[in-house]
Amino acid sequence: MTTTTESYRVKDLGLAEAGRLRIDWAEARMPVLMALRERHSEEQPLKGQRIAGCLHVTKETAVLIRTLVAAGAEVAWSGCNPLSTQDDVAAAMAAEGIPMYAWHGMNVEEFYWAIDKTLEQKPTLTLDDGADLIFRVHDRFTGLIDGILGGTEETTTGVHRLRAMAADGALKYPVLAINDAETKWDFDNVYGTGQSSLDGILRATSVLLAGKNFVVAGHGHCGRGCALRARGAGANVYVTEVKNTAALKASLEGYSVLPMDEAAAIGDIFITATGMKDVLRKRHFEAMKDGAIVCNTGHYDVELNLPELDELAVSSRQIRENCREVTLQDGRRIYVLAEGRLVNLAAAEGHPSEVMDMSFANQIQGMVFLARKGAGLGNEVHMLPEELDQEIAGIKLAALGIKIDELTPEQAAYATAYAEGT
Ligand code: XFA
C-alpha cells in the first residue's frame, strides 16, 4: 500500500514520527554534517540549485538531505536500492516536504518511475550511488544535460562505470568521484566494514570471540578492518591472501598468514573479504572443525561456494535468524551466516552513522564544489580536491575534541623548499 500525492510517494506517511526518532539519533552522531549544515545555512552555497538524489534512503541519508536543504538547495529523492529503503525514514522526509519517491521492495518499473519523478524538477546537480541517475539522464533525458552543472557518485562500481563512459566520450557532464576521497574509502571500508561485520557475526551467533581462531580471507581494506576488530575482541586472527604485498603487510601487522587449506582446519570463524568467488569451497568445508562458522563481507554472495557445501550435507536447518546449520555426512556441523550475503548488511545495520558522516560530508562538499566550479570542469570523472579531505577530517577531529600540531612558519617554509629539491 502506498500513499500518493503529486509531490511524494512513500509506503505510509504515518511512519514519519518513528523515522524522525531514528534521524535524530543519527544526527547526534554525524557532527561533520551538522557543522557543515551550520556553516552552509548562513552562506547558502546551494541556493538556486535543484538536486536530484538517488541514494539509499536511510537515517544517515536523511541527515544528508536536511543538510542539502539547509544549504539552500531544492532536493528531490529516490532510493538507489529497493531493499535498503527504510520506510519510516522515507515518510519522515516526505512529511518534511521533500519530494521523496521511495518505498521498500519497489519493483524495477517503480524504481525508474521514481528516478524519473525526481528529474521532473529539472535538476542542476545529480547525486548518485551506483550512477543510475546519471545513466537515466544520458539515456532518456538528454534534454536535461545542458542544465546540469555536474554530479557526484558515491561507489567504486559507479565510478568505474563512469570512467569507462568518459573514456568513450559518452559522459556529457562532469562527475566527482566521492568514493576516491580518502575520508570516504579509507574509513568506511576499514572501520565501517570492520565493526559492522563483527556486529553481524555477533547478532547471528552471539558467540564469544575471545580465544577463538578467526580467519579473515583477504587483507584489503575490508579484511584489515575485520582483522583489527577481531583482534581487539581477543580472537587469534589468521589471514589468507593471494597477493604478496598484502600478505606481507598482514604478517608485519602481527597476524598469522597461511593458505586457506591450512586455515580451514584451524578456524572457528571464517569471514571472506576478497572480492573473489569460491574463496571457501568443497575442499575447505571438508577440512573444517565441527561448529565452524562461515560468512562473507566481500563481494555480494559469491565468496562462499554454498552449492558445494550443500552437496556435502546430509541435513540443514535454520537454527537462528541469519544462521543455518549444515550437517555433513560424518556429523560435523557448519554454520552459514546470512547465506553468504554481506553479513554486515543482512545481520547488522551496515555502516554506523559516524562513518557515513565522513562519506556524506564529501557528498555535501562535492555539491558545493560543483555549484561553484562545475561549469568550468571537463566532462570527465574528477577527484575531489585534497584540501576537502583534510577539511572534513579536521571537522571530525574538532568534533572528537582532538587537537593536533601545526607546522611553525619555519617548518612550512622548510617543507616547501624540501619539495622543491633544495
Ligand atoms: C543497504 C547500504 C547497501 C542499510 C540500510 C538499511 C539497513 C542497513 C544496502 C545499506 C548499502 Cl548496498 O544501508 C543498512 Cl537496516 N549503505 C551503505 C552500507 N554498507 N555498504 C555497509 O552501510 C557499503 C557498500 C556495500 C554495503 C559498498 C559496496 C558494496 C556494498 C547505506 C547506508 N548505510 C548506513 C545504514 N545505517 C543504518 O546508509
Q: What is the pLDDT of residues 317-374, one digit of tens each?
A: 999 999 999 999 999 999 999 999 999 999 999 999 999 999 999 999 999 999 999 8
pLDDT digit string (tens) for 187-209?
Answer: 999 999 999 999 999 999 999 99
User: In which residue are the cell numbers 577527484 written?
Assistant: 383
Structure-model confidence comparison of residues 88 and 374, the more confident one: 88
pLDDT digit string (tens) for 64-82?
Answer: 999 999 999 999 999 999 9
Q: 287 C-alpha vs ligand 1 centroid, how far in Å?
A: 33
Residue 90 Cβ inside 6 Å of ligand 1? The answer reads no
Q: What is the spatial distance between Cα 124 and Cα 145, in angstroms, rounded to a whole number?
A: 9
Cβ neighbour number for residue 190 with a 10 Å cutoff: 21
Cβ atoms of residues 148 and 354 within 8 Å: no
- Complete edge-to-edge strand list for the sheet that includes strand 381-382: 3-5, 8-10, 100-101, 74-78, 50-54, 125-128, 150-153, 175-177, 381-382
pLDDT digit string (tens) for 206-252?
Answer: 999 999 999 999 999 999 999 999 999 999 999 999 999 999 999 99
Which residue, 333, 340, 330, 275, is CA-closest to 305? 340
Confidence category of residue 422, pLDDT binned at 50, 70, 90 = low
Quick check: 260 pLDDT over 70?
Answer: yes
Quick check: 272 pLDDT over 70?
Answer: yes
Quick check: 174 pLDDT over 80?
Answer: yes
In 3-state terms, what secondary structure has residue 354? helix
Quick check: 135 pLDDT over 70?
Answer: yes
Which residue, 90, 67, 68, is CA-closest to 80? 90
Task: Write out the three cell numbers for 419.
Answer: 619539495
What are the backbone dihedrals phi and psi of residue 79, each rounded to the nearest 5 degrees, phi first? -90, 140
Q: 345 C-alpha vs ligand 1 centroid, how far in Å?
A: 6
What does the DSSP 8-state code read for residue 130? Answer: S
Residues 6 or more apart whose CB falls under 8 angstroms from that of 340 comprise 294, 295, 296, 301, 302, 303, 304, 306
The pLDDT score that the predictor gives to residue 421 is 65
Q: Supply the pTM of this predicted model.
A: 0.95
- Sort strands 125-128 and 236-240 into parallel, antiparallel or unpaired: unpaired
Atom 1 (ligand 1) nearest CA = 84
Which residue, 231, 153, 227, 229, is CA-closest to 185? 153
The pLDDT score that the predictor gives to residue 418 is 76
Dihedral sign computed on CA atoms, order 358, 363, 367, 372: positive
Task: Write out the three cell numbers for 100.
Answer: 521523496
Q: 58 C-alpha vs ligand 1 centroid, how far in Å?
A: 8
Confidence category of residue 97, pLDDT binned at 50, 70, 90 = very high
Q: Average per-residue pLDDT in the chain?
A: 96
Terminal C-alpha separation, the chain: 71
User: In which residue are the cell numbers 524538477 written?
Assistant: 121
* Ligand 1 atom closest to 58 (CA): 38
User: What residues does 217 pair with on adjacent strands?
Assistant: 240, 272
Cβ atoms of residues 105 and 82 within 8 Å: yes
Q: DSSP E strands: which ranges in 98-171?
A: 100-101, 125-128, 150-153
Residue 345 Cβ inside 6 Å of ligand 1? The answer reads yes
Residue 61 Cβ inside 6 Å of ligand 1? The answer reads yes
For the chain, list the domains and their CATH numbers.
Answer: 3-186+351-400 (3.40.50.1480), 193-346 (3.40.50.720)
* Ligand 1 atom closest to 86 (CA): 6
Cβ neighbour number for residue 225 with a 10 Å cutoff: 25
The preferred substitution site among 56, 203, 354 for testing ligand 1, maximizing ligand atoms within 8 Å of CB, is 56
Q: Give the percent of the chain with pLDDT over 70.
A: 98
Q: What is the spatial distance between Cα 61 and Cα 63, in angstroms, rounded to a whole number?
A: 5
The preferred substitution site among 81, 185, 345 for testing ligand 1, maximizing ligand atoms within 8 Å of CB, is 345
